[in-house]
A = this chain, B = another copy of it.
Amino acid sequence: MNITAFEYNDNIIVVDCGIAFPEDEMLGIDLVIPDVTYLKDNVDKVKGIVLTHGHEDHIGALPYVLRDVNVPVYGTKLTLGLVENKLREHNLLKSVKRKCITPGQTITLGSFKVEFIRTNHSIADAVALAITTPAGVVIHSGDFKVDYTPIHGEPINLQRFAELGRKGVLLFMADSTNVERKGYTMSESTVGESLDDIFLDSEGKRIIVATFASNVDRVQQIVWAAQHFNRKVVVEGRSMVNVVKTAMELGYLKMPENTMIGVEEINRYKDGQLVIITTGSQGEAMAALSRMASSNHRKIEIKAGDRIIFSSKPIPGNEKTVSRVIDDLYRKGAEVICEDTHVSGHAMQEELKLLHTLVKPKYFIPVHGEYRHLKKHAELACKMGMKEDDVFILTSGDVLELDKSGGQITGRVPAEQILVDGLGVGDVGNIVLRDRQKLSQDGLLIVVVTLQKQTGQILCGPDIISRGFVYVRESEDLMLEARNVVKNALEQCHKKRITDWSKIKGVVRDALRDYLWAKTKRSPMILPIIMEV
């Protein structure tokens, strides 16, 4: 959920605008977007949103944020191509201004000059930003790695970083994701070599490769391997189909003629003539590969001998679902290959040191990563000679004021997580989540009773309906007895002349809760409903 605002006098520019995926305890939530109250309140100052690359955690919240903060969006060609797919889905394509930028280009936004510097990452067309402000130059790395032999385009523009560094950089903000990992990330092109080895070894067998849809360079290498070994390429999974289409249209993915075929044509080819490129590398239940693995894919059936390559690594939290899909594939007699088929898109320690050395900033803010990554990146910067006071570890919402004489956290802006559920943005909060949590654990019991208004006598009920609590057919005695407990509670209320509904409900709820806990050691949600006629 990356988003950063830079402000100088009456000028604000925003860098990136991403979503986060819901945490496990955010039951039923589709995605999480940032709270942009501060931008809404200052919408007249906002000159534009500048994007570093096209990953969801950097562009995903645009369709939501642009509704309230409709400002021009700047990004490189592929990034904007992916943004446009999103805006189209949300019917915003016409109302949002976009400007396509080439790496090396500089734009002026109010009192800011923003220069786009080519970097490398696990998606093509990633850039860092050099933001010239009246107070000095800020370099924001975006997500990056150093790849001397990238697939598409050129290596990261180290010369430009060096030049800016030599002239003097006020603030460096850099990707911390891989700060715990020693050494250098391998080049994307090393994956191609591994793929070739696997293809060479897979004669006569069908190959299925799962990877991130957005990793166009990876897809390119799979296509090259297919071409090399005379295989046809099938592209499967909604996001894979979309990204491949966009990347081909924009020239980021070169598909040799007569290589790609439709999924309905696979029966015309032998197994050894096919490569299927698919989504599902994270074991997502609804993704194409997972559906193949569980025999729920309409067109592709896994069979003995299939070779399935995971050209990916499980994102933390997905290890178990990935492992389950792999197990399902093995059960069908397929062979799964996960080794040497992926490289990271984020700089490791030596690359970070390289950038720090080139940029030599006055101040440093580690960004992109869990808190411990920020902390360790700060330590790395200090080991390289920075003073502790010149390094700032920020929390979402912190306002850092900075000039040549120093920096200080001077305040906070709202930075809640806004939950998106279906069409609802922000209408699911803690109370709703707590209820979902409770319902998910022990289910619920509903007690309904109709009373006569004057006398308070029971006219109908009490009836008890349960869901997610016990299997009712096998728990008839329990439910019968529970009904008696409620009846007694109601009679007690009647005797004691308790007429206040909320009190009656409380008595019923307590009696039933105690009874159920004693009998089952479970505490379902209990909802007493009183009707009066």
Contacts and interface: CB of A to CB of B under 8 A. Distances in A.
B427 A471 contact: yes
A103 interface: no
Contacts of A469: 432
A463 B450 CA distance: 13
A176 B279 CA distance: 30
Contacts of A467: 435, 439, 444, 525, 527
Contacts of A371: 327, 330-331
A316 B370 CA distance: 20
B431 A471 contact: yes
A441 B435 CA distance: 11
Given A28-B443, A440-B440, A461-B531, 9 more contacts: A317-B320, A421-B522, A422-B442, A435-B467, A435-B468, A437-B440, A439-B467, A448-B531, A450-B450
A326 interface: yes
A460 interface: yes
Interface string A406-441: 000000000000000111100111011101111111
A51 B453 CA distance: 65
A305 B435 CA distance: 39
B527 A424 contact: no
A386 interface: no
Given A327-B370, A432-B470, A423 B521 contact: yes
Given A424-B520, A444-B439, A459 B372 contact: no
Nearest to A467: B435
Q: Which 7 A-B pairs have the closest CB atoms?
A: A422-B521, A440-B440, A435-B468, A439-B439, A317-B320, A28-B441, A436-B468
A420 to B, nearest CB: 10
B432 A443 contact: yes
Given A320-B317, A450-B460, A533-B450, A435 B429 contact: no
Given A436-B443, A468-B432, A475-B427, A520 B422 contact: yes
B444 A531 contact: no
A100 interface: no
Nearest to A329: B372
Q: Is the interface of A mostly helix, strand, loop or mixed?
A: mixed
Interface string A98-127: 000000000000000000000000000000
Contacts of A24: 24, 320
Nearest to A474: B427
A295 B65 CA distance: 35
A198 interface: no
A520 B424 CA distance: 6
Contacts of A319: 316-317, 319
Interface in A355-378: 370-372, 375
B28 A428 contact: no
Interface of A: 24, 27-28, 316-317, 319-320, 323, 326-327, 330-331, 336, 370-372, 375, 421-424, 427-429, 431-433, 435-444, 446, 448, 450, 459-461, 463, 465, 467-471, 474-475, 519-522, 525, 527, 529, 531-533
Nearest to A519: B423
Contact of A326 (B327, B372, B423, B533): B372
Contact of A316 (B320, B424, B470): B320
Contacts of A448: 448, 529, 531
Contacts of A461: 531
A531 B432 contact: no
B531 A460 contact: yes
Nearest to A433: B468
Contacts of A423: 519-522
Contacts of A527: 446, 465, 467
Contacts of A316: 319-320, 323
A247 to B, nearest CB: 29
B327 A372 contact: yes
Contacts of A521: 422-423
A27 B521 CA distance: 15
Nearest to A423: B521
A371 B327 CA distance: 6
Contact of A443 (B429, B439, B465, B522): B439
A456 to B, nearest CB: 14
B28 A463 contact: no
Contact of A531 (B436, B471, B531): B531
A517 B220 CA distance: 40
Contacts of A459: 533
B531 A428 contact: no
B372 A336 contact: yes
11 contacts: A24-B320, A27-B441, A28-B440, A316-B323, A323-B370, A327-B372, A330-B375, A424-B470, A448-B531, A460-B532, A463-B529
Contacts of A442: 28, 421-422
